[in-house]
Structure 1
Amino acid sequence: EPKILLTVDGYRYGGKDVDRRVQVDEIIAALPTLEHVVRRAYLDPDGEDGWGALLDHDAADAMASMAFESVPFDHPLYVLFSSGTTGLPKPIVHGHGGITLEHVKALALHDDLGPGDRFCWFTTTGWMMWNFLTSAALVGATVVLFDGDPAWPDLSTLWRLAADEELDVFGVSAPFVMACRKEGLRPGDDHDLSRLRHLGSTGAPLPPEGFDWIDDAVGSHVQIGSLSGGTDVCTGFVGPAPMLPVRAGEISARMLGCDVQAFRPDGTRCDPGETGELVIVQPMPSMPIGFWGDPDGSRYRAAYFEEFPGVWHHGDWITFDEQGSCVITGRSDATLNRGGVRLGTSDFYAVVESFPQVSDSLVVHLEDADGGPGELILLVATVGGVDVDEDLRRSIGARLRSELSPRHVPDVIDMVPAVPRTLSGKKLEVPVKRMLLGMPASDAASRDSLADPGSLDGIERWIASRRSTGAGR
C-alpha cells in the first residue's frame, strides 16, 4: 500500500522519446494510499520537478539525521512482479534477511565479486537482475548502470561500455549473446576487454554455440557464467563458480544452499542424464515470504507446491550429469512432446534461428486429446520483414528433421511481425499457446510486462486469420 510514488514523464529508447504521462496518471488514480507523488522532468527539462516539494530540507542535514531501524529477518523488502512468461505476473514479496544472505553469497562466492571491482548487468528495472545488480554494494563493488537500448545505435554499444568503464564482471542475456554472434561481432578484437574476467548470461538457456562465440570473439581469458533462477527467488538456482570448469552448453553447478533436483512426474528423483522437472527440495534463504494480496497464502502455495506436495516446483526442464553440472532446455509446460519424444524449446530455437533470414521465433505444440501427434506451430519474425516463402519453410523443416528428429518438423511455419518477449527477454510460449486455444490476449498475458506491448497484436491477427480460414480451433 505505497505512500510515495517516484516517477518520470517518459524515457528515451532506441533514439526515440516515449511519453508515459498518461500511464503515470492511470497508476496514480489506482493507488488511493499515495500521500506524495514526485514527478521528475526527464523528457521535458523545463517541466514540473517535484523533488523540491518533498525534500524541503537541506540534503546534508537529512543525511546526518538518517536513522536505521532493525527489522525481523522476514520483514518485507520489496515486491517483484514475475516476468509473465506463463500468464499474468505474480506479485512476489521478498524479505530483508533472505535477499541479503542470498545476494552476498551469489555475488561474492559465485561471481567472485568484491571491493574494487566494477560490475554491470544489462537490465531494465522491471527484471530481478536490477535488484541483483544493485546488491553489489553489499560486497563493496562499484555498480555501473546503463540506460537505454543495448542495440542502439548498434549491438556494440554494451561492449564499448564494458571497455570504457573497465568492467571486471559483466552480465547480459543469452538472447543478446546470440544476437551478437549472428551479427558477426568480435568485441575482443574491437575493444579493450583485457580487464573483463567474468561474463554472466541468463534470461534463457545459452546454447553451446554461444559459449564458443564468447570464447572466440570476446576472449578465452573470460569465464562464462551461465546462470538460471527466477524472479520468484530473486537469484539463481544453478550457476557458475570461480573454481569449477566451464563446459559449452552447460551450467556449472547448483548454487550454494540450493538443493536443486530433477524429478520425474511421479515425484521420484531422476538419474544423472535423465531430464525432469526442476524442483527445490529444501528451503533456501530467498524464497518469497508470500504474494501481495494473498493473505492466506493459497495463491502462493498453488503456484509452487501443488505439483509435488511440500516441494518447490519451478516449471523448468533440467538434466544433471554425474559431475553436478546441468542443462536447462526451457519451460516444462512449453516442452514439445510428439510421439513420446520430449524436446526442450531451446534446442528447437538453436536450429531455427541459425537461419540468416530469421530474427526470432516461437514454437507451440497443441496436443491432440485423442493421443495423436497434435499440431506443431512455428511462428517466425524475419530480418527486414521479408516473407516466409516455401523455400524457407522447406529449408527449416529439413534442418529440423536432420538435426533433431522427423517428429519435430512443424505442421505450420508462418510469419508474425514480432515475437512477444517479456522485459527480461523471455518468449511467451505458454500465453501464446493459451491464445491459440481460445483465451483472450488480455487474460493470457500482461502487455505492460512485455518489451514490445504491440507484439501481441500481430499474434492476435495471425490467430484471427487462421480461424477465419478454418485452419485453427
Structure 2
Amino acid sequence: MEPQWVPSTADIAGARVTDFADFVRRRTGVQAPDYRSLWQWSVADLPGFWGALWDYFDVGERGDEVLESAEMPGARWFPGTELNYADHVLRRARTDRPAILGVDEDGSVTELSWADMIGATAAFAAVLRAHDVAAGDRVAGYLPNIPEAVIAFLATASIGAVWSACGQDYSAQAALDRLGQLEPKVLITADGYRFGGKTHDKTADIAALRAGLPSLAATVVVSRFGGNVPDALSWADIERAGDSATLVAEPVAFDHPLWVLFSSGTTGKPKGIVHGHGGVVLEHLKAVALQSDIGPDDTFFWYTSPSWMMWNFQVAGLLVGATIVCYDGSPSAPTPDALWAIASRVGATVVGTSPGYVLACAKAGSVPRADHDLSALRLVGITGSSLPPSSSLWLRDNVGDRVPVASISGGTDVVSAFIGGVRTVPVWPGELSAPYLGVALEAWDESGKPVHGEVGELVITAPMPSMPVAFWDDADGSRYRDAYFDMYPGVWRHGDWITLTEHESVIVHGRSDSTLNRHGIRMGSADIYQAVERLPEIAEALVIGAEQPDGGYWMPLFVTLAPGAEFTDELKSRINAAIRTEVSPRHVPDHILEAPGIPHTRTGKKLEVPIKKIFQGADPAKVVAPTAVDAPELLDWYATLRPPAK
C-alpha cells in the first residue's frame, strides 16, 4: 500500500511544527530533523518539551519548575503558575478577520468581529458577577452550536467559574443527569434549535430543566424563534451592554477547573471529567497549531455540538487567532453534501467531520470538489470512529488530492487526541499518521509488554497536562483511578485496540472492552464495519461478540438497510463474502439479522458494550441509562434476542 498524500518540500518548510522544531534546536540544542525524532524527544523529556511549548507560544510568566511529579494519576504541572484561558483568546484580538461565523441551516451567515465577541463576553461576565458567580462556581449551557455558546464559555472562564454544557438534542432529563450534578448558579439556554429542515422548540424542556436545578440564581435566554421563557434575562439586552463593558481575565492556578465534560453515561451515571485552564491551553495550542497547522489565516469548521469535546477543540481555534465556524443544523440538509456547501460558503480552510458522514456522501454519489468551490480547503479532519481506507481514498478523489486527511483519535478524557495528523508526515489510507507530540503512546499486551505490528491496548506511559484534574464528586479519586489505571497501575489504559505499523502510523481497531474474541483470536469491530457499511444496501451495522453461560460464543451482525433495499439471502451472502474477503474468515458472523435501528450514545458511538451485556442476561435498565441513548426504545428490541438453539 502506498500513502495517499505525501508532504511536499514546501509543506514541510512552511509547517508550524517545523518552526517549533527550529525553536527547540536554538533554545536547547536538541536536533530533531523529522517529526519522529521530535516526538521521541517530546516524550523522553517531558519538562523540556512542555516548557519549550509554553515559551514558544509565549503563554506568560511561569516558574522554573515544569513537572513537579510525574506520577499517574496525580502529576502536578507548573506549580505556582497562574494563567486564564480567556486571556489567551483576548490576546489574539484583531480587526482584519472575524472571530466567529455563525451559520444557520437556512443558509444565513452572521459575522462576529473580535471586538463584538469580546464586548459580549465582557457583558455576560458582568451579568455573572452581578449574580454573585465567583471562581469555582458553575455556569451551565443548554444550547445549540451558536456563537452565544462560545461567548458564554469565555465569560465563565474569564472569572474563574466552571463551564459545562449540553446540546439541545438532549432531553431535559438527559441534561439534568449531567448538569444537575454541578449545582450551577446560572443557566444560559436558547428557545430552540434547527435540524433537518425543522425548528425544535425547547421551551418545555427548559422549564423542566430549570425546575430540576434549584441552585439557579438566573437564567439567560437567547431568543431565536420567539419562544417564551418566563422570568429569564434576555441575551439581546445583555449583548447591547457590551460596548460599555471591559473584559478582565482573572489569573487562576494552572490546574484551576476550566470546564466539566461528561462521559456518554451508557454504563451508569455520566462521569463529570474536570480539566484545568493550564492543561487545556497548552494541549490545545499544541494540537491546533502544531498538529493541525491552524493559524491566524485559517477558517476552522468542525461539525459538532456543545455536548461533544470537539466543540471545545474547535473553540481553541481562537487561541491561535483563527476564525471559527459555529453551525446549527444538519450536515445533510437540504442535500447530502450540505457540509461541503457550507465549507465553500465560508471559505473554510479546515473542515472536520465523521467517517459516517463521509460514507453517506460516498453512497449518495457526491463529488464535493466538482459541485462546490473548495479551493481554500487545506485539511480535512476526521474523528468519532475509524475511517476505512476506502473512505479516506474517497476524500482524496472527491474532495482534493492535495488535501491531507487528518484522522484523529483521543477523547473527552483529555479533551484532545492521542494520535492524528501532522503536516510533515504522509497520510496512509485507513491509518492515523502519528502519535501527537508529548503523548507517550504504546501498544501493550495483557502482560504489559509493548507490541509492534500486532494488536494491543492503547496505553499512555507518561502524564499529559490535559489529563483530568479530577472526576466531579470523586473525593478519594477512586472512580478516576478505576477508569484508567486498573489494568496497568501507573499507566493510562484508554480502552482502544491499536496496531503500531512499520511506518510508525497507527491503526485503531475499536474499543478493547467490546473486542471480538473468537477461539482466542482478538478482532476489532471497526474492521467489520468498514467491509459491511460500504455495501450500498447497508445503512449501518453493529457486531457483538458475547460469551455465553455454557461456554459458547455468539457473534451476531445486525444491519439496517438503506431505503429501498431488501433483506434477502443473496444480500446476506454478499455481506459474508465481503467480510471473508476484506477482513478474514474468522470475522464472518454467526448470524446476520435485520434490525430496526442501531442505538448510539448522544455523541454518535454505537452501543456495543451495553448490547453485549444485555445479550449476557443483564437488565437493560441497569447497563445503560435511557437518557444517554439516541433511540432508547431500540433497547427493548435487542433485549428480546437470544442465540438461536443449536
Q: TM-score range by the shorter chain?
A: over 0.9
Quote the residue 1:457 is aligned against: 633
Question: TM-score with structure 2 length normalisation?
Answer: 0.68
Matched, 1:393 2:572: yes
Structure 2 letter corresponding to 1:397: N
Q: How does 1:340-379 map to 2 (within 5 A)?
A: 340-369=520-549, 371-372=551-552, 374-379=553-558
Gaps of 5+ in 2: 1-182
Quote the residue 1:100 is aligned against: 281
Number of residue equivalences: 463
Quote the residue 1:173 is aligned against: 354
Q: How does 1:33-432 map to 2 (within 5 A)?
A: 33-44=215-226, 50-52=232-234, 59-60=241-242, 63-64=245-246, 66-84=247-265, 88-270=269-451, 272-369=452-549, 371-372=551-552, 374-384=553-563, 386-432=565-611
Shift of 1:369: 5.0
Quote the residue 2:66 is aligned against: none
Quote the Cα distance in structure 1 between the aligned partners of 2:638 and 2:551.
Answer: 26
CA contact 2:548–2:616 (8 Å) conserved in 1: no
Indicate the larger mover: 83-92 or 245-254: 83-92
Shift of 1:351: 1.3
Closer, same or farther: CA 57–153 of 1 in aligned 2, 3 Å: closer
Structure 2 letter corresponding to 1:230: G
SS in 1 for 2:327: coil
CA contact 1:330–1:345 (8 Å) conserved in 2: yes
Quote the Cα distance in structure 1 between the aligned partners of 2:343 and 2:333.
Answer: 15
Indicate the larger mover: 278-287 or 167-176: 167-176
Closer, same or farther: CA 53–169 of 1 in aligned 2, 3 Å: closer
Closer, same or farther: CA 85–120 of 1 in aligned 2, 3 Å: farther
Shift of 1:281: 0.6
Closer, same or farther: CA 86–351 of 1 in aligned 2, 3 Å: farther
SS in 1 for 2:474: coil
Which whole-Å deviations, capped at 9, do the CAs of 1:62-86 have from their partners, x for residues lacking one? 522x332110001000110123466
Closer, same or farther: CA 128–293 of 1 in aligned 2, 3 Å: same
Closer, same or farther: CA 153–52 of 1 in aligned 2, 3 Å: closer
Quote the Cα distance in structure 2 between the aligned partners of 1:57 and 1:172.
Answer: 31
Structure 1 letter corresponding to 2:571: L
CA contact 1:118–1:143 (8 Å) conserved in 2: yes
Quote the Cα distance in structure 2 between the aligned partners of 1:142 and 1:165.
Answer: 10
Shift of 1:462: 3.9
Quote the Cα distance in structure 1 between the aligned partners of 2:637 and 2:200.
Answer: 25
From 18, 34, 41, give the equivalent of 2:200. 18
CA contact 1:258–1:280 (8 Å) conserved in 2: yes
Structure 1 letter corresponding to 2:195: Y
CA contact 2:221–2:234 (8 Å) conserved in 1: no
SS in 2 for 1:12: strand
Matched, 1:436 2:615: yes
CA contact 2:420–2:434 (8 Å) conserved in 1: yes
Shift of 1:358: 0.7
Quote the Cα distance in structure 1 between the aligned partners of 2:213 and 2:229.
Answer: 23
CA contact 1:73–1:95 (8 Å) conserved in 2: yes
CA contact 1:79–1:94 (8 Å) conserved in 2: yes
Quote the Cα distance in structure 2 between the aligned partners of 1:141 and 1:40.
Answer: 25
CA contact 1:352–1:396 (8 Å) conserved in 2: yes
SS in 2 for 1:145: strand
CA contact 1:169–1:200 (8 Å) conserved in 2: yes
CA contact 1:40–1:48 (8 Å) conserved in 2: no
Quote the Cα distance in structure 1 between the aligned partners of 2:263 and 2:493.
Answer: 15
Quote the Cα distance in structure 1 between the aligned partners of 2:408 and 2:262.
Answer: 20
Which whole-Å deviations, capped at 9, do the CAs of 1:208-233 have from their partners, x for residues lacking one? 11111011010111011111100100
Closer, same or farther: CA 387–444 of 1 in aligned 2, 3 Å: farther
Quote the residue 2:190 is aligned against: 8
Quote the Cα distance in structure 1 between the aligned partners of 2:319 and 2:313.
Answer: 10
CA contact 1:87–1:431 (8 Å) conserved in 2: no
Quote the Cα distance in structure 1 between the aligned partners of 2:367 and 2:627.
Answer: 34
SS in 2 for 1:188: helix
Quote the Cα distance in structure 2 between the aligned partners of 1:435 and 1:44.
Answer: 44
Which whole-Å deviations, capped at 9, do the CAs of 1:20-60 have from their partners, x for residues lacking one? 33332332233221111123333335765833499679614
Shift of 1:424: 3.0
Closer, same or farther: CA 17–53 of 1 in aligned 2, 3 Å: closer
Shift of 1:336: 1.1
Structure 2 letter corresponding to 1:314: H
Question: TM-score with structure 1 length normalisation?
Answer: 0.92
Gaps of 5+ in 1: none
Quote the Cα distance in structure 2 between the aligned partners of 1:385 and 1:4.
Answer: 48
Indicate the larger mover: 80-89 or 141-150: 80-89
CA contact 1:86–1:428 (8 Å) conserved in 2: no
CA contact 2:318–2:324 (8 Å) conserved in 1: yes
SS in 2 for 1:144: strand
Structure 2 letter corresponding to 1:38: V
Q: In angstroms, what is the RMSD of aligned CA positions?
A: 2.2
Indicate the larger mover: 363-372 or 296-305: 363-372
CA contact 2:418–2:439 (8 Å) conserved in 1: yes
Shift of 1:402: 3.2
SS in 2 for 1:420: coil
Structure 1 letter corresponding to 2:478: S
CA contact 2:203–2:228 (8 Å) conserved in 1: no
Closer, same or farther: CA 201–345 of 1 in aligned 2, 3 Å: same
Quote the Cα distance in structure 1 between the aligned partners of 2:230 and 2:221.
Answer: 7
Q: What is the percent sequence identity of the aligned residues?
A: 46
Quote the Cα distance in structure 2 between the aligned partners of 1:369 and 1:216.
Answer: 48
Indicate the larger mover: 395-404 or 314-323: 395-404
Structure 2 letter corresponding to 1:28: R
CA contact 1:83–1:127 (8 Å) conserved in 2: no
SS in 2 for 1:136: helix
Closer, same or farther: CA 22–108 of 1 in aligned 2, 3 Å: same
